[in-house]
Amino acid sequence: MATAQLPESPLPPLAELHDAARVVSIPTRTRFRGISTREAVIFVGPRGAAEFSPFVEYADDESSRWLAAALEYGWAETALSLRSAIDVNATVPAVPAEQVPAVLARFPGCRTAKVKVAERGQELADDIARVRAVREAMGVDAFVRVDANGGWSVDEAAEALTALAPFGLDYAEQPCATVAELAELRSRLTRAGVPVRIAADESVRKAEDPLAVARSGAADLIVVKAQPLGGIATALAIIEEAQLPVIVSSALDTSVGISMGLHLAAALPAGMLAGACGLGTVALLAGDVAQDPMIPVEGALSVRRPTLDEGALERFRATPDRERWWLERIERCYAALAVRA
């Protein structure tokens, strides 16, 4: 994995991070990525609010990149924005088909939808019904994507994408887990005449070598997330080297983390964005930490830093044991960053 770029100035003292940290626990509207509560640390930094929210199962080494991103965003200069607004997609969890219209209603004006597929405990028939419901609700001129989070084998992905292709897919995100599998699948779909592009997500943000996807010809585009890659500067460097079209997405962040993603998307050179970005996911949370949450307006979000809502920070404050858990995690990740620095 490319080393996260830390703030040019020395790391802020650990005591300063403790003082700046507010730990929150926010319920999700539907079960998403196997969780029903999203925990996050919100830092009140000198440059503005920043977020540290690696998922709880992530190891400290991986999570330290998320801390580097928070320190960059809260304590260092932000990359120059080339756009004032970013189009975003609706995100449809692995819900029953009949719930699709209600989910889409949370994303006003969005003309692109990303649909979760390959959910454990579900079958291909469930995915087909969900994608069909999205296409029917959004119409023939909308863009529909699917995201398997690496949940299929090559054979399963080939079967599923052949079945889903008639719905006019924009692309399939991380249909298989490994770069080699993505390359094999992409080749197989091309030979079979199945017109579905392949996007790599986990194979970029969780890989030891995030550029292996581009070198292997394993994907048509890449999905990047600011926090997991270590911040905006590191993400921009990876994008420049990969030379593939880009979608910027979130990791089920609060509005603070979404703001970081928006600034990344806004800093991309002209022609690099491959469509609407996956930054509308605050709509999947049952609350937020901002006075003016990052909810799409006419399918887009303005590039800005949110103003924190002190009442919401207190309302969603994590329990004392979870606060301790996150503060101890910060200490371990900070130690890893200090060694790199």
The residues assigned a catalytic role are 116, 225
What whole-number distance in Å separates Cα of residue 213 and Cα of residue 121?
29
Residue 321: CB atoms within 10 A of its CB come to: 7
What whole-number distance in Å separates Cα of residue 303 and Cα of residue 166?
35
SS3 content of the chain, % helix, strand, coil (to 5): 40, 20, 40
Tokens of 113: 């939808």
For residue 200, the surrounding DSSP H or E stretch is: strand 198-200
Residue 272's nearest CA partner among 226, 205, 222 is: 222
CB 338 within 8 A of CB 71: no
**Measuring CA to CA, how many Å separate 105 from each of 96, 109, 170, 251, 277?**
15, 9, 21, 21, 18
Close Cβ partners of 155 (under 8 Å, ≥ 6 residues apart): none
Residue 273's nearest CA partner among 305, 236, 230 is: 236
Residue 1 in 3-state DSSP? coil
> Hey, what long-range contacts does 271-275 have (CB within 8 A, 24 or more apart)?
272/239, 272/245, 272/246, 273/245, 273/246, 273/247, 273/248, 274/221, 274/245, 274/246, 274/247, 275/87, 275/89, 275/112, 275/143, 275/170, 275/247
What whole-number distance in Å separates Cα of residue 101 and Cα of residue 112?
14
Residue 264's nearest CA partner among 64, 81, 24 is: 81
60-75 vs 232-242: helix crossing angle, rounded to 10: 110
